[in-house]
Structure formats: C-alpha cells, structure tokens
Structure 1
Amino acid sequence: MDFLARATAIVGGAMVLLRRFGAPNTVAVGTAPTIPDAKKQGIMTLKMPTAQGWAPGQVPVAAAGLRVNAFATGLQHPRWIEVLPNGDVLVAEALQQASPPKSLMDRATQATMRRARALGISANRISLWRDADGDGVAETREAFLEGQNQPFGMALVDGTFYVGNTDGIVAFPYQDGATRLEGPGRKLVTFKPGGHWTRSLIVSPDRRRIYAGVGSLSNIGDEGMEAEEGRAAIWELDIASGAARIFASGLRNAVGMAWEPVTGALWTVVNERDGLGDETPPDYLTSVQDGGFYGWPYCYWGRTVDDRVPQDAALVARAITPDYALGGHTASLGLCWMPEGTLPGFPDGMVIGQHGSWNRSKLSGYKLIFVPFSGGRPSGPPRDILWGFLSADEKTSYGRPVGVTIGPDKRSLLMADDVGDVIWRVTGV
C-alpha cells in the first residue's frame, strides 16, 4: 500500500503539473462568483498533503488582534464540538473507514487518504473536556460516550442527548453535569451509512425539531440514484412525534448548519462535486428553504447542467442558486453563527472551518474563515481567522480545520483540527 501511495503521488504530481497550466487565476467566491467552464478531468486530480501534525510550540497563524492556544490535545481525529450549558466541551472523535475498493483508482485514493490521515480505524467515541479554572485550557478528560458508529453531530434537548451516527440519530437520557453516558441508546431515525458519512445535527430555535445533514454516497450518483435515496439532503426530526422527513434536497454534502438570527433562516455549507476543474463548481454557503432543491447531481450553482449525469429536466428547473460561493474544493465543513463582540474587530457573521482540497492542482481551504452578514445576508468578502495549517510547498499538512463553535465564555471560538488532534481556542489578544 505504501508503494501504491508513492506511485499515486508520482502520477498525480504529473497530472497536477499539467493541469496547473490551464488553472483559473480567479477564485469563485462571493454572491456573484465567476465560475469557469467545466473541464472534465477523466482521471481526477488527486493531490493531498502528507499529514504531519504540529511540532512542539507550533500553532496556527491568527489574524491581527487575535491569539490561538490549544484547548485540548491528544485526541484521535476530532471532528465536531458541542458545548453543554454547564460549559463542558464535547468532542466527537471519528474517522472515515475503508470500504472494499472496486477499482485501481479506489485503491490509489485510499492509499493517499491513509497518508493524509483521512482514513483508518475510527475511535467511535465522544470525549468530554472540562476547563474548571477558566484559563482556556481543559484540565480533565472523560470518555463521555463510547461504542458509537462514526459519531459526529450532537445535541442536548430537555434532558435527552442526541448523537448523529453515520447510520442514524440515537438518543440517550442525560442529567446535568454527567461525565459519562451508558447503554445502547434509542434509535430514532435510520440513515444509509458510508459515503459522505458525517451526520451533523442542529436544534431548532424553539427546541422542537432537530435537523441532520446526510451526504451523498458518491460524487455524482455514480452507483445510480436508487442508492442515493434519502441522501444528499437535510432531514428534519420532530422530537415530540418522532416523525422524520427530508427538509431540503440536492445538497451533495451539507455538513455544518447554523441559524441566522435576523431572518430565522437555517444556513448550511455544502461540499460540491469533483472532476470538473480547480474552481468548478465552488463549494458554498446558503440559506435552506423547506422543500428546496439545490441541484445535485443534475446541475450546479443554479441550473448549470452537469452532462456527465443522466438528466431530470423538472428538477433542474426547480434548482435554487446558492447564496455565497466559497471557492472550489475548499471542503467547507464547520459552520457557526458568530455574534458581533465575540472576537474583537469582527461584526455579525458566519465562521467556516475549511478542511481543505484534494481535487485541484493548487490546494485551497486549509483555514478558518469569517463571512460578514448584514440584514440577514452575506455582506462582504471572507476574512481569514486562522491559517498556517499547510506548508508553503503544499506537501505537508500540520492540521486541517473541521467543526467550529462559540466557546463557553461567549468570547472565544473552539475549532476541531483532525490532523493535529487538537481543539484550538481563538480569542482576542
């Protein structure tokens, strides 16, 4: 497998060099992005840095007026964060697991992902971290919940703790201050596992519903649309009745979700399809309409048809154009609303953890960014909060941003880094 990874790197490097000659000079970002015409890659660009982690004393670079410190270390692929009302910080530790490869390309991809620490044995647990003295560094760690199936999203509502496993939503009784949950839990909703395996959760403002992101199995419905049934969607669970339904669809891989307080709209970040070029199509941030269809797999950024896919003209005609482009293949995953005053110099807006690309000749993402909002809408270009996760030559990653949330003190951000195995804390200087 090491030989295959090296061979893939050599071949992939040659393809990357060839494709850089025709790579676009502009980035598809904002409310009216310039999106280059699609260029079918045939053999997809496969460029992923080798995971190295952070050297002692090394930290990400923070924007002017901000500082960053390690809130928690020694985790095993931390992906998502939930802050409990008492200030305890929960971290979902999970990893993509290999399925049987069906082709040489599958084998090459898996070898590359292992080198990037993006594939392996999943810890399948949620850990609890407590910063009792409030100095911004957790002193205690507990195994809060173990034996899960690639846990990701978490939510607490009225004494019940909900977990978004890859195969569904599970509920556990919870008492304030608990440091460990026991038992198998109660399965409320079943999802198809695998593929884009993450299942983020968010509770509605009235605490009556839970929304869950369920990604597609494949890039563009490669195994047929029957295999994609119930996927590429955001689901809604009515807590009282237990009824679940698809709230919005055509979202290839909607991961982070957040509520925008001015309009009350649900927003999400979506990872778009691969194989059409460095900036085509861009990942995006968008509000989500009940019953809305956002194009996947038939079209992208509104009604731009992907002619690799057998078409459905009626669905294309319904496709909603996203609100804000985030650049091609940035792998924007984490999302939270950040009110003005949380960090000095930042107004209201959305914070986004960009895990970073693999399907482009020049890497993108690998940073924590901020999109300002005004009147319930994006109102300007993105600003970098943290960067420095990637070496200058793009060959090594020290870390990769994933989930982000407001810290217990309401004056900080917490961000999961699944290559550095760290939870970073960002505050004012």
Structure 2
Amino acid sequence: MSSSFSGLFFFALVGVASPCGAADTPTFHDAPAAASSLRNPYAGQASAAAAGRDLYAKNCASCHGLSGQGTGNIPALAHGPAQQASDGALFWFITQGAPMDGMPAWGALPAQQRWQIVSYLKTLPTAKPVAVAQNEAIASSVTTPPPTPPFTDFRYEIPGKVRKITLADLPAPYATASAGNAPTMVARPADVMPKAPAGFRVNLYADSLGEPRVIRTAPNGDIFLAESGSGQIRVFRGMTADGKPRQTAVFATHLRRPYGIAFYPNGADPQWVYVGDTDEVLRFPYRNGDLKARGKAEHVADLPHGEGHWTRDLAFSRDNKTLFVAVGSASNVNDPDVSPAEKNRADILAFHPDGTGQRVYAWGIRNPSGIAIDPQNGQLWTTVNERDGLGDNLVPDYITSVREGGFYGWPWWYMGPHQDPRHAGKHPELKDKVITPDVILQPHNASLQIAFYEANRFPKEYHGDLFAAEHGSWNKATRVGYEVIRIPRHHTSKASGEYEDFLTGFVLPNGQVWGRPVSLTVAPDGSLLVTDDGSNTIWRVDYVGAGQ
C-alpha cells in the first residue's frame, strides 16, 4: 500500500497534535513517522474501549474474528505486529486501509470512532470475544442465487460429487465484486456430524485441543499433532474399539505457532522430529516410541519472518537429501521487486537436512500451505491458497505436482498466461513460463493440507489418491470450502484435473460454521484422521462397507 499520506493531510484529518519523539523508521504497514507518533486522545479510557468494542463487532469482527484471532489471509490483531504498533500507526492504517490486500479504508468513520477502535484493539490480549449480533441473512436460510457451474458453494457440496474447473471456465478480473464474508463460528449442534460418502463412518477421535493444525503419522504408528494455538506438539497412540486414541501425551511445548512436522530420516527408524515453527525450523532428538522429546530443540534454519502467512510446512525428499519448507507470501499481491518483506517468501525452499545450502526450489506460489511427497515416486506436491481481490471466482486455489525451478505466477500472473491487472505490464518475459497447476479448485476455499492414501482399508479405487482439507472461504459472497476433498489419480502418478467432495457438513443451512478442516493423515488401521480447528477436534473417517 502507499505510504505517501502527507503529514499535513493526516493532521487535518485527525484533528490532534503530534508529540515529539516520532520514530525514525516506520514499523507497521509503512506508517509514516508523523503518524506513528500521534497520541491517542482516548488512551486508557474504559468508555472509549467499550465504544470501540461495539464498533469492532459491527465493522471488523466478521473478518478479523470475534477475538481478533484473524482468519484466512487476514492477520491476527490480538497478538503480533498489531499489538506492537503504536496507537497512531494503527489509526493511520485503519484510515488508509490496504485495498490490494483486501483491507478497506475506514476514513469515512469519524476520527473519534477510529480512535475508539484503536483503544479497543489494545485490550484484545485480555478482552473477551465480542458478541456479533446475527443479522437477517445469518438468522435465516441463505437465499443467494445458485452458483454457475463449475463454481459452487457450501449448499451444493455433496459427498461423492465430482467437479472439474478448467482455464476456459475462468471469468475476467472484476467480473464480480470481491466479498468480505468471514464465518460466524458456532458450537456444533448435538445432532450434526460431518457427512461422508455411503459406506464410510465418521466418529470424533479427539476434542478440546489447542488449535489443531498439521497431523502426521510416525513410522511406528503414533500420531503427531501440531497444536498451533497452544504452542505444543501432542502425540496419540493406539486405537480403541470405538475409534479413539488409547493414550495421549505432550511431546514438546513452548513453541511459536508450530505447524509442519516431518520425521528424519525416512524409513522405519527416524532419529529426529523436525518442526516448522514460523520463524525457524527446529528438530528434536527422537527414537521410535518416544512420547516426550528426549532433548531440547535444536535450531536447524532461520525462515523469513514477518506478517502474512505464518504456516511453515515441511517434507523430506525420499532419498533423505533435501528438506523442503513451504513459506507463504507476506501479502496478497505485493510486488517482490519492491517489497523487501517478500524475500524468500511465496516459495518452496530447499535445504540440506542440517539447514545449510538454502535455495529456492519453486517460486511464485502465493501460499503453499501444505506439501507432501508422493510415496510411489518421490514427486513433491503442494496445495496453494491463491490471491484475493479480483472477484468471487478469481483466483482459484489449486493442488499440483511441483517442478524444480518452476514458476507458478504470483504475483504478476495466474493460472498460466493470465496477468493480474494490478501488475499490468510487469514481467512480460514470465508469461510463457507460468505453470498451470494439475488441479484447479474453487476460488477462496483456502486449501491447507494434502495427504496420499496408501492404505488398503478404503475401496481399492482410493489407493494412491490425494485427500485435501479445504479450510473455507472468508471472502466469497456465499461461502465455499469447509470440506475434505479427494483427488482421484486412477492408479497413476498424475491427476487429471477433477476432484470430488468427500467430507462435508461443516456449515449449517443458515450459513453459520461449526468446523474448519485443516490437515489429514492416514492412521495405522487405514482410517483417515482430519483436524478441525473450528471445533478444536480431530475426526476419524473409516470405511465400514457399502451396505452400512
């Protein structure tokens, strides 16, 4: 966003004087020094924070979350840079917005109300979640028009439904307006469960977890879980007759938003558990059967730090020579040529297992939230959150095999030779180098994690297929995603472009959301485990027979 907001205009707008001691270097969204040094005239006033709470509930919570926890590409406000910023910098950003990143400018609000919002934001670390009044659209059934195929929304997601989106289906940029429609989260009703295809049964595997994100199966069959909100790695062992773990333990604590988990070396006897911990890769000494780390975390490699996508997924090449680390962009469409924060982001990085030898393996991948190695041939795959702001049906998320040295478009191009109009005329030499992904998904459905199904418990046609967790949209007129999908590969090493709804039902008929799938792993018995950070649970999907 622009930082050319002049001091004269700024002071005229806010109507308050600036004290001495302005910071020399802007630290929050390029806020100018004069803005950063502004004093909040309502700072410390409980009445101002209370008024700001109501304004936040009305104007901000639908995107930033009831507790300021963030959602989708929207950063958290309850912690991180927003809490470290000065009141003046926050006020400036609320006033200016960042249209390219989906943040509207709120300059039309009276200055007093903007300051009140700032006052409330500073209470978020200890404040209770705001209560957002249900409007008529939420309280009643969703009545928006049906989507035009092949695009869809939650109302038409049905287990077993096959879909395919091609380049010919893509609309022009700005064919529709971009939406702000973050989910209203509610508790799961007692009579509601995820829906799976006929012959599959779903049960609750574990609950009351601390933001369960990435889940992985260790070579010995233990299940490792990154609880990103709690900053810890948990382990589950065994399976009871009713599909629950026999034992659970905390493997490691005091981590900073852990996400990716990988065991090294590949094979039956790993010696380390690697963890992607936002700013770095760590590893813990490990032996099969450890329920608690047998030593302190060892630093392996630094990773790009900053705002934007914080997840860092990990995978090792089949020959154990390369550690792949997925690093999402710091923004929606900022140009890396002029945005230092984008250095080594929107990439899949590669390292030696000891953290040396960093290089870019593939680039132009806005947010490769999940990566996985095909166990059949060692091919790297990823699932990607694409950019926002071009309309309801642009730009699609995708799942694809990854070519070494491959360029996937972000931020100048997308889906092959389609130029983002916000970067018109830039990098024409890259137009013919943009790789079209293998599987085009619904736009804005926030595809987060993938897993290969190599077990034999599901019907034989599932063997070798990919499953993917679609966390769900925050910026589509009628929400989409909030499901697990299957990528059929028809017993080959490739995907032919279609995908299938597999596990649905996380959105209620009125549009409220109770669950958000994040990650998947295949349990030792061949069932599929799915993390859900909307209800802080893990679901187990088992095949019990076509007649059940």
**How far apart in 1 are the matches of 2:450 and 2:485?**
10
Q: 1:235 and 2:287 equivalent?
A: no
Q: Which moved more, 1:306-315 or 1:353-362?
A: 306-315
Which digits, 9 at most, give the CA deviation of each residue in 1:211-232, with x for residues without a partner? 1110000000178432101000
Contact 2:439–2:498 under 8 Å retained in 1: no
Q: 1:386 aligns with which of 496, 499, 503?
A: 503
Higher relative contact order (CA 8 A, sep 6+): 1
CA contact 2:484–2:504 (8 Å) conserved in 1: yes
CA distance in 2, matches of 1:9, 1:150: 22
d(CA) in 1 for partners of 2:247, 2:504: 28
Which residue of the partner structure matches residue 199 of structure 1? 312
**Structure 1 partner of 2:488:** 372
Answer yes or no: is the 8 Å Cα contact 2:316–2:373 preserved in 1. no
- Deviates most, 71-80 or 260-269: 260-269
Partner of 1:390, secondary structure, is: coil
Residue aligned with 1:308, SS:
helix
- Aligned CA distance change for structure 1 residues 25 and 9 (closer, same or farther; 3 Å): farther
Contact 1:9 1:47 survives alignment (8 Å): no
Aligned-residue CA RMSD in angstroms?
Answer: 2.8
2:358 is the counterpart of 1:274:
no
2:436 partner SS? coil
Summarize the Cα distance change of 1:361–1:209 in structure 2 as closer, same or farther, 3 Å threshold. Answer: same
Contact persistence 2:440–2:497 (CA under 8 A):
no
TM superposition shift of 1:380: 6.0
The question of whether the paired residues in 1 share the 8 Å contact of 2:285 and 2:295 is answered with no
Measure the CA separation in 2 of the matches of 1:332 and 1:393. Answer: 23
Q: Which residue of 2 aligns with 1:419?
A: 534
What displacement does 1:182 show?
6.0
> In 1, distance between residues paired with 2:176 and 2:340?
26
Matches within 5 A, 1:108-147: 122-131=229-238, 133=240, 135-147=242-254
Deviations 1:187-235 (A, max 9, x none): 2111123411111111211222221110000000178432101000111
Greater fraction helix: 2
Deviates more, 1:374-383 or 1:249-258: 374-383
**How far off its partner does 1:342 sit?**
3.9
2:55 partner SS: helix
Aligned to 2:529, what secondary structure does the other structure show?
Answer: strand
Percentage of pairs with the same residue: 36
Per the alignment, do residues 342 and 36 of structure 1 end up closer, same or farther by CA in structure 2, a change over 3 Å counting? farther
Instruction: Select which of 297, 304, 326 maps to 1:185.
Output: 297
CA drift at 1:6: 2.5
Amino acid corresponding to residue 366 of structure 2 in structure 1: R
- Say which of 343, 346, 352 aligns to 2:458: 343
1:39 to 159, 166, 174: 174
Does residue 290 of structure 1 match 2:425?
no
The letter of the residue matching 1:63 is P
SS at structure 1 position matched to 2:288:
coil
SS in structure 1 of the partner of residue 57 of structure 2: helix
Q: Is the 8 A contact 1:72 1:129 kept in 2?
A: no
Shift in CA distance, 179/134, structure 1 to aligned 2, threshold 3 Å: farther
Q: Which whole-Å CA distance do the structure 1 matches of 2:136 and 2:208 have between them?
A: 36
The equivalent position to 1:87 in structure 2, one of 217, 221, 227, is: 221
The answer for the alignment partner of 1:76 in structure 2 is: 210
The 1:163/1:426 distance shift into structure 2, 3 A limit, reads same
Q: CA deviation at 1:21?
A: 7.4
Superposition map of 1:204-215 within 5 A: 204-215=317-328
**What CA distance in whole angstroms lies between the structure 2 residues aligned with 1:340 and 1:372?**
15
Which residue is equivalent to 1:26?
A: 150
Q: TM-score of the superposition, structure 2-length normalised? A: 0.67
Alpha-carbon contact 2:62-2:184 (below 8 Å) kept: no
Aligned length: 396
CA positional deviation for 1:236: 1.3
Q: Would the aligned equivalents of 1:24 and 1:278 in 2 still touch at CA under 8 Å?
A: no
**Preserved contact between residue 231 and residue 254 of structure 2 (Cα < 8 Å):** yes
Q: Structure 1 regions of 5+ residues with no counterpart?
A: 95-121
> Residues 2 and 164 of structure 1: is their aligned pair in 2 closer, same or farther, counting only changes over 3 Å?
farther
Deviation for aligned residue 1:356: 0.5
Aligned twin of 2:468: 352
Contact 2:453 2:465 survives alignment (8 Å): yes
Cα displacement string for residues 364-403 of structure 1 (whole angstroms, at most 9, x for unaligned residues)? 1110110101332213632222110001121x11100011
Q: Tell whether 2:188 aligns with 1:54.
A: yes
Aligned match of 2:440: 325
| Segment of structure 1 superposing worse, 185-194 or 237-246 | 237-246
Q: Please tell me whether the aligned partners of residues 24 and 36 of structure 1 are also in contact (alpha carbons under 8 angstroms).
A: no
CA deviation after TM superposition for structure 1 residue 239, in Å: 1.5
One-letter identity of the residue aligned with 2:277: N
Of 261, 265, 276, which aligns to 1:164? 276
Q: Report the secondary structure of 2:422's partner residue.
A: coil
| Corresponding position: 1:5 with 2:112 | no
| Matched AA of 2:417 | R
| Counterpart contact for 1:23–1:361, Cα < 8 Å | no
Determine the C-alpha separation between the residues in 1 that align with 2:406 and 2:212: 31
Aligned counterparts of 2:473 and 2:207: Cα–Cα separation in 1: 24
Match of 2:81 in 1: none
Query: SS state of the match for residue 377, structure 1?
Result: coil
Residue 329 of structure 2 corresponds to residue 216 of structure 1: yes
Match of 1:403 among 513, 519, 533: 519
Q: CA 1:173 to 1:9, structure 2 compared with 1: closer, same or farther past 3 Å?
A: closer
- Could you report, residue by residue, the CA deviation over 1:167-197 in whole angstroms, capped at 9, with x for unpaired residues? 0111111122111126552221111234111
Aligned residue identity for 1:248: A
| Secondary structure of the corresponding residue to residue 350 of structure 2 | strand
Contact 1:41 1:275 in 2 (8 A): no
Aligned equivalents of 2:340, 2:292: Cα separation in 1? 39
Whether the aligned pair in 2 keeps the contact of 1:300 and 1:306 (CA below 8 Å) is: yes
